[in-house]
Amino acid sequence: MSNKTPDIIYTIVDEAPELARHSLLPIISSFASAADISVETRDISLAGRILALFPDLLTEDQRVNDDLAELGRLVKTPDANVIKLPNVSASVPQLTDAIAELQSKGFAIPDYPQSPATDAEKAIRAKYDTVKGSAVNPVLREGNSDRRSAKAVKEYAKANPHRMGDWTADSKTHVASMSGNDFFANEKSATITAAQAGGAKIVFTAADGTKSVLKDGLSYDEGTVVDATFLSAAALRSFIKDEIASMEDGVLFSVHLKATMMKVSDPIIFGHFVSVFIEDFLAKHGDTVKALGFNPNAGLGDLEERIKGNAELEADLKAALAGKPDMYMVNSDKGITNLHVSSDVIIDASMPAVIKAGGIGWGPDGKAADTKCCIPDNCYAGIYDETINYFKENGKLDVTSCGAVSNVGLMAQKAEEYGSHPTTFELPSAGTVEIVLDNGDVLHSHTVEAGDIWRSATAKKAPILDWIKTGIERFDAVGTAAFWLDANRAHDAELIKYVEPALKAAGKDIPIMAPREATRFSWVEMAKGKDVVTISGNVLRDYLTDLFPILELGTSAKMLSIVKLMNGGGLFETGAGGSAPKHVEQLVEENHLRWDSLGEFCALGESFNFLADSKGKTKAAVLGQAVEDATVKLLLNAKSPERKVGQNDNRSSHYWFARYWAESLATQDTDAALKAHFAPVAEKLSANEATILAELKADEGKPADMDGYYKSDAAKTSAIMRPSATLNSIIG
Ligand SMILES: NC(=O)C1=CN([C@@H]2O[C@H](COP(=O)(O)OP(=O)(O)OC[C@H]3O[C@@H](n4cnc5c(N)ncnc54)[C@H](OP(=O)(O)O)[C@@H]3O)[C@@H](O)[C@H]2O)C=CC1
Ligand SMILES: O=C(O)CCC(=O)C(=O)O
Ligand SMILES: [Mg+2]
């Protein structure tokens, strides 16, 4: 690794995008080096992050640099130009699997302490908790988010509509949310004044008067919007019971949370669903399974593992589940339910999948059925409820004529709920939680009961102002937009105090609408063929940039996802979705990778363009333009990956990408040296088409062994992902 910041950093990640990297990055590096552009990798994979925690326990050659920390510093500088692929945000079961795999490969790292007792265990647990859940994105996202589809991608989707289920007016699919006492209802918010700026702490006073400091050392700048709220555990449990009791025949029960990003609150909420769902079983065997180490937050999958071989417990669990409504399944063939692992059903991807299918989920019998979708908290549930209402009234979306919905999201500097994990607490007993400022003010105060989940979130002034400015710019470019803010919600009301004067000063008439109303507005306008910009907070950024693209384009993987870093650098994310574990399964079983790298192509083009602007590298602009040409050609010639063995897959799509990229460079006239360099490359790629495609397909249909999941063998993975000797030698 050199000391000089490379021109472009490409990330090493997990699962499907990591497999794709093995094939695509050699092509990128080779093309970039012809333009004297340096491309280096940094490892932000789950395995890499785990290993970086324990240098002392590893041998010299096992030790790894803490690349995430390094990138975290880099994104605060103008030099940053990072292409960031999706990585695993690990739930506890994913984390323990990764640890076990690394241990089996000879890395002497400790087990994950499920219930840490000693100081040593607590220290290990604290370390592991730093890589748990969404531990990467909040570190790198030092800017607000601008996600949209490239024009060519949208045009392609209109001309080649993807498959979608039909909606009918009598569909029983619906969203169910709490009637109150949730985060939405209990929220308080304030903007920090000059007199209040400075340190703060969060103090819990138990009913008997005992005080404990939940969090010290907080610091707020003037203008920061600080929220506090809680969700009542008792109200949540009674909501879950009511929803289970009111299930109609033939409807599946489901719950949709974000246990990865909301890594403290949502696994607990998930645990309540688990423990209510199997309450008969726990009434009988609660102590036994607790002694076996079971915690409901870990899910039914963990319970099944722990009771394996105990015939009585197994039979009773089966009976308890049989007495409950049918569940929405993650994998009905394998019996994996919605309640097996908290991170298997992630709301941003799962709700659009239900909606795209026409309001259906898959039940234990492998058959499609209407579904009750429990989204307990009301802050954002309304957007899905209103979307479902809209489709029940209007039928499925006409993809061939609808407009493009893009998003500007307030994301920088751990904005809003997605930055709240260090200030989220499950209360041990009844009492009062207060945010106490160093000047003596009690900023917020809540009376809570045992088990309630209390949290505080912040949004800083500079990111808010930047977000409004970007929102206005995108409105100017597109023509239709709305700020998704609810004047009746405490936090949003504080943001509106920033937005209204800014709009007035800029002379812009952009409506401000509550999320439900803005959802309806966006569907209605986009269905008329208009392009619409949603200007939203961080959670809605996440939800909307899956919801609209999945319906419009078939997948959010095709989105262009730009993070303009606050200090001048660029972070280019690929797509808007995740790391597609199902795609890895297919590769392992039949050596076909259906991952589409379109998001990577879009990010790559933007990264080159940014390099051209920021460092004056004119050759980067030529490469960037050629990437765009190649992407359009790839779409028009239908060379994107498809789902089945024998069809185009990720690897063959990379061959076509390389070829079109080289052809574009060979035919441009801006840079003669690049033209001369790429003419023979294009020629060879074309002349060897049949050989290369045959080599890429030679092993399809057979299993593929990468020797590992979280840390696969690099040489074996590379061999699987680069099976064409002819292509490899042309790429060089
Ligand atoms: N930015 C990030 O780093 C993000 C990371 N994640 C992480 O990703 C993992 C999986 O999350 P999950 O909620 O299942 O969502 P995913 O987005 O990974 O997967 C949902 C489905 O979307 C489709 N899909 C996604 N990307 C592509 C692509 N490039 N090409 C083709 N199809 C694609 C696939 O559909 P099909 O199976 O039908 O082909 C896939 O099964 C989790 O560990 C999560 O934490 C999640 C979101 C963002
Ligand atoms: O970081 C994560 O866990 C998920 C991020 C995500 O879903 C998004 O940014 O769209
Ligand atoms: Mg998302």
What is the average pLDDT across 273-289?
97
Atom 11 (ligand 1): residue with closest C-alpha? 578
Nearest bound ligand to the CA of residue 349: 1
Both tokens assigned to 672: 């003669």
CB atoms inside a 10 Å sphere around CB 566: 17
Nearest bound ligand to the CA of residue 559: 1
Measure Cα distances from 369 to 286, 326, 565 in Å.
32, 10, 44
What is the average pLDDT across 353-364?
97
What is the average pLDDT across 210-233?
98
Task: Say which residues have a Cβ less than 8 Å from residue 229's Cβ, sequence separation at least 6.
Answer: 183, 184, 186, 187, 188, 446, 454, 455, 456, 490
Closest CA to 658 of 146, 4, 21, 30: 30
Residue type, position 99, single letter:
I
Please state, in angstroms and rounded to a whole number, the distance separating the CA atoms of residues 705 and 730.
26
Per the prediction, the chain carries an average pLDDT of: 97
- Whether 656 is in the pocket of ligand 1, judged by its Cβ within 6 Å, is no
pLDDT reading at 727 higher than 50: yes
Q: 187 C-alpha to center of ligand 3: Å?
A: 24
- Whether 634 is in the pocket of ligand 1, judged by its Cβ within 6 Å, is no
Q: What is the pLDDT of residue 114?
A: 87
**Site of tokens 């909301």:** 262
Nearest bound ligand to the CA of residue 351: 1
Q: What is the pLDDT of residue 1?
A: 44
557 near 16, Cβ under 8 Å? Answer: no
Q: Tell me: the pLDDT tens digits for 137-162? A: 999 999 999 999 999 999 999 999 99
φ, ψ of residue 345 in degrees (nearest 5):
-115, 105
600 near 576, Cβ under 8 Å? Answer: no
- Whether 260 is in the pocket of ligand 1, judged by its Cβ within 6 Å, is yes
Tell me the residue length of the chain: 732
> Which ligand 1 atom is at minimum distance from the Cα of 581?
10
Treating both helix axes as pointing N-terminal to C-terminal, what angle do 650-667 and 618-636 enclose, rounded to 10 degrees? 130
**Site of tokens 């800083």:** 460
Q: Tell me: the pLDDT tens digits for 99-123? A: 999 999 999 999 999 889 999 999 9
Atom 1 (ligand 2): residue with closest C-alpha? 134
Measure Cα distances from 621 to 607, 609, 610, 634, 671 in Å.
10, 5, 8, 20, 10
Nearest bound ligand to the CA of residue 86: 1
Closest CA to 98 of 58, 57, 50, 61: 50
To test ligand 2's pocket by mutation, which of 44, 132, 137 has the most ligand atoms within 8 angstroms of CB? 137
> How far, in whole angstroms, is CA 115 from its chain's centroid?
28
Pairing relationship of beta strands 481-484 and 512-513 according to DSSP bridges: parallel
Residue ranges near ligand 3 (ion) with Cβ within 5 Å: 348, 542
Q: Residues with beta carbon inside 6 Å of ligand 2?
A: 89, 134, 137, 260-261, 348, 542, 545, 576
What is the average pLDDT across 31-56?
98
Q: Is the pTM of this model over 0.80?
A: yes
344 near 576, Cβ under 8 Å? Answer: no
Q: 422 C-alpha to center of ligand 1: Å?
A: 26
To test ligand 2's pocket by mutation, which of 91, 348, 547 has the most ligand atoms within 8 angstroms of CB? 348
Atom 3 (ligand 2): residue with closest C-alpha? 134
To test ligand 1's pocket by mutation, which of 555, 574, 593 has the most ligand atoms within 8 angstroms of CB? 555
- Whether 485 is in the pocket of ligand 1, judged by its Cβ within 6 Å, is no
- Whether 145 is in the pocket of ligand 1, judged by its Cβ within 6 Å, is no
pLDDT band at 3 (very low <50, low <70, confident <90, very high): low
Q: 452 C-alpha to center of ligand 2: Å?
A: 25
Q: Tell me: the pLDDT tens digits for 167-210? A: 999 999 999 999 999 999 999 999 999 999 999 999 999 999 99
- Whether 582 is in the pocket of ligand 1, judged by its Cβ within 6 Å, is yes
Q: Tell me: the pLDDT tens digits for 381-401? A: 999 999 999 999 999 999 999
